[in-house]
């Protein structure tokens, strides 16, 4: 069910609005609610590193904050979590919150999340990524222009008014696009927050980037020193650390509220001392540290494997380094095969303005639902996606739950 503004005002009444999830989705919903005249009072988040902090001008509380006999009479909760919506809903219902009355999912306001790929190029060839040489063909090596980005933003706002955040990365390195700071400025002027990710191996204009005020800056790493370059293939550890410290300094100077999260990919070679070293660096710089089990990120290769093909060379080398093997990940995914696909709510607009059926498949062949986002109504895009043969093949093996189960493994280990 999708709620109108009037629906929302009626069911909220005089309750305090809390957003469960202080990540990108949560901040985006705070932005959208505020734009529509609502006054959220804070976040709920399980991450102890975030609790008691102030993000986007609002306090972050632990889940215990909404436990108690009168909690459901006092608070209205918007669940803003991409992978853990079902688990949070169960938690809320155990505390007496009723769906549609005491809580709703953020996708009841914003049915679609948006990925806008501003760079079709990457400077690394990480062996877990299809760019290293998989069974896939190359994607178009183009940059999105600022003019096209403006038009994309306008269409998103016109068709999905509750969109408060977008992700401007997926398969490419966004800092390679020289218009990136201007794009982030433009998005903010339209009431949309941007999440940016970087491998930090490119000497970009980081000052201009932080001055543009991205709401979230995500960094990735996998090991230290020479081990870093094993899986962040083509990267340089010393250059990475220097750029990490540059980002930390600019954040302190320009935009202390910027969320910076370092996703640390845990392989057999990157656990133990290397992981502790990166965790300490994050602690020193005030970054969020997210250790996550590495996995094969290209679902093209995973689907081909399930259909009987051999993994390409780079993917096979990655498999030998994984802490959680591909077969174990797939078995966990098959156990959730009847659940919905998290990625189906995401519209991925590529740098050449084509629209992918699924953001997690790299190969454009068989994965393109529209050649030009600007010329294709949202209703037509959604209608075409619902009958995509790629989805049928993917769901047959439960692969639509594959990425989510790895995210859950990391949560199990952390909390």
Domains: count for the chain: 2
Judgement on whether residues 293 and 202 belong to the same structural domain of the protein: yes
Give the tens place of pLDDT for each residue, 216-257. 999 999 999 999 999 999 999 999 999 999 999 999 999 998
Judgement on whether residues 167 and 23 belong to the same structural domain of the protein: no
Judgement on whether residues 117 and 198 belong to the same structural domain of the protein: yes
What is residue 129's predicted lDDT score, i.e. its pLDDT? Answer: 87
Q: What's this model's pTM, rounded to 2 decimal places? A: 0.88
- Show which of 108, 142, 167 is a domain's final residue: 108
Given a contact cutoff of 8 angstroms between Cβ atoms, the answer to whether 108 and 31 are in contact is no
Distance of CA 135 to the CA centre of its chain: 25
Judgement on whether residues 230 and 323 belong to the same structural domain of the protein: yes
Judgement on whether residues 407 and 300 belong to the same structural domain of the protein: yes
Judgement on whether residues 91 and 120 belong to the same structural domain of the protein: no
- Show which of 108, 136, 158 is a domain's final residue: 108
Residue 289 has pLDDT above 90, yes or no: yes
Percent of the chain scoring above 90 in pLDDT: 77
- Show which of 52, 81, 108 is a domain's final residue: 108
Q: What six digits make up the tokens of 210? A: 């932080």
Judgement on whether residues 180 and 285 belong to the same structural domain of the protein: yes
Judgement on whether residues 80 and 171 belong to the same structural domain of the protein: no
Q: How big is the CA angle at 22 (ends 296 and 335), to the nearest 5 degrees?
A: 40
Residue 128's CATH number:
3.20.20.70
User: Residues with Cβ < 8 Å from 138, sequence gap 6 or more?
Assistant: none
Residue 39 has pLDDT above 60, yes or no: yes
Residue 415 has pLDDT above 50, yes or no: no
Judgement on whether residues 201 and 337 belong to the same structural domain of the protein: yes
Judgement on whether residues 90 and 135 belong to the same structural domain of the protein: no
Range of the domain at 24: 5-108
Judgement on whether residues 329 and 296 belong to the same structural domain of the protein: yes
The top-scoring range by mean pLDDT among 28-37, 122-131, 192-201 is: 192-201
Percent of the chain scoring above 70 in pLDDT: 97
Residue 28's CATH number:
3.40.50.720
In sign, the C-alpha dihedral spanning 238, 239, 240, 246 is positive
Per-residue 3-state assignment (H helix, E strand, C coil) for the chain? CCCCHHHHHHHHCCCEEEEECCCHHHHHHHHHHHHCCCCCCEEECCCCCCCCCEECCEEEECHHHHCCCCHHHHEEEEECCCCCHHHHHHHHHHCCCCECCCEEEHHHCCCCEEEECCECCCCCCCCCCHHHCCCCCCCCCCECCHHHHHHHHHHHHHHCCCCCEEECCCCCCHHHCCCHHHHHHHHHHCCCEEEEEECCCCCCCHHHHHHCCCCEEEEEECCCHHHHHHHCCCCCHHHHHHHHHHHHHHHHHHCCCCEEEEEEEEECCCCCHHHHHHHHHHHHHCCEEEEEECCCCCHHHHHHHHCCCCCCHHHHHHHHHECCCHHHHHHHHHCCCCCCCHHHHEEEECCCCCEECCCCCCCCCCCEEECCHHHCCHHHHHHHHCCCHHHHHHHHCCHHHHHHHHHHHHHHHHC
Judgement on whether residues 117 and 102 belong to the same structural domain of the protein: no
């Amino acid at each position: 069910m999708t709620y109108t503004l009037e629906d929302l005002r009626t069911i909220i009444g005089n309750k305090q609005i809390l957003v469960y999830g202080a990540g990108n989705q949560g901040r985006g919903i705070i932005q959208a609610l505020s734009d529509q005249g609502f006054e959220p009072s804070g976040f709920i988040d399980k991450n102890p590193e975030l609790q008691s902090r102030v993000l986007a001008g609002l306090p972050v509380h632990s889940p215990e904050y909404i436990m108690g006999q009168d909690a459901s009479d006092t608070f209205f909760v918007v669940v803003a979590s991409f992978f853990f919506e079902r688990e949070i809903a169960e938690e809320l219902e155990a505390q007496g919150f009723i769906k549609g009355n005491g809580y709703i999912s953020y996708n009841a306001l914003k049915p679609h999340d948006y990925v806008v790929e501003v760079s079709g190029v990457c400077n690394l060839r990480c062996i877990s990524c299809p760019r290293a040489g998989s069974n896939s063909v190359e994607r178009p090596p183009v940059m999105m222009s600022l003019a096209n980005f403006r038009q994309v933003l306008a269409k998103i706002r016109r068709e999905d008014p509750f969109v408060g955040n977008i992700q401007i990365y997926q398969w490419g390195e966004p800092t390679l696009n020289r218009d990136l700071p201007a794009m982030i400025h433009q998005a903010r002027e339209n009431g949309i927050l941007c999440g940016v990710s970087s491998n930090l191996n490119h000497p970009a204009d980081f000052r201009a980037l932080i001055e543009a005020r991205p709401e979230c800056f995500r960094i990735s790493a996998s090991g230290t020193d020479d081990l870093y370059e094993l899986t962040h293939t083509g990267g340089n550890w010393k250059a990475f650390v220097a750029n990490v410290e540059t980002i930390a300094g600019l954040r302190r100077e320009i935009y202390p509220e910027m969320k910076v999260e370092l996703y640390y990919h845990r392989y057999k070679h990157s656990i133990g001392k290397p992981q502790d070293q990166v965790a300490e660096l994050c602690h020193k710089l005030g970054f969020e540290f997210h250790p996550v089990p590495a996995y094969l990120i290209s679902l093209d290769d995973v689907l081909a494997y399930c259909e009987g093909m051999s993994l390409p060379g780079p993917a096979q080398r990655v498999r030998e380094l994984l802490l959680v093997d591909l077969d174990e990940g797939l078995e966990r995914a098959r156990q959730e095969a009847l659940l919905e696909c998290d990625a189906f709510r995401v519209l991925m607009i590529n740098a050449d303005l084509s629209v992918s059926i699924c953001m997690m498949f790299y190969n454009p062949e068989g994965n393109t639902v529209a050649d030009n986002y600007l010329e294709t109504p949202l209703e037509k895009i959604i209608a075409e996606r619902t009958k995509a043969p790629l989805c049928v093949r993917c769901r047959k093996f439960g692969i639509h739950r594959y990425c989510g189960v790895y995210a859950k493994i990391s949560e199990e280990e952390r909390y």
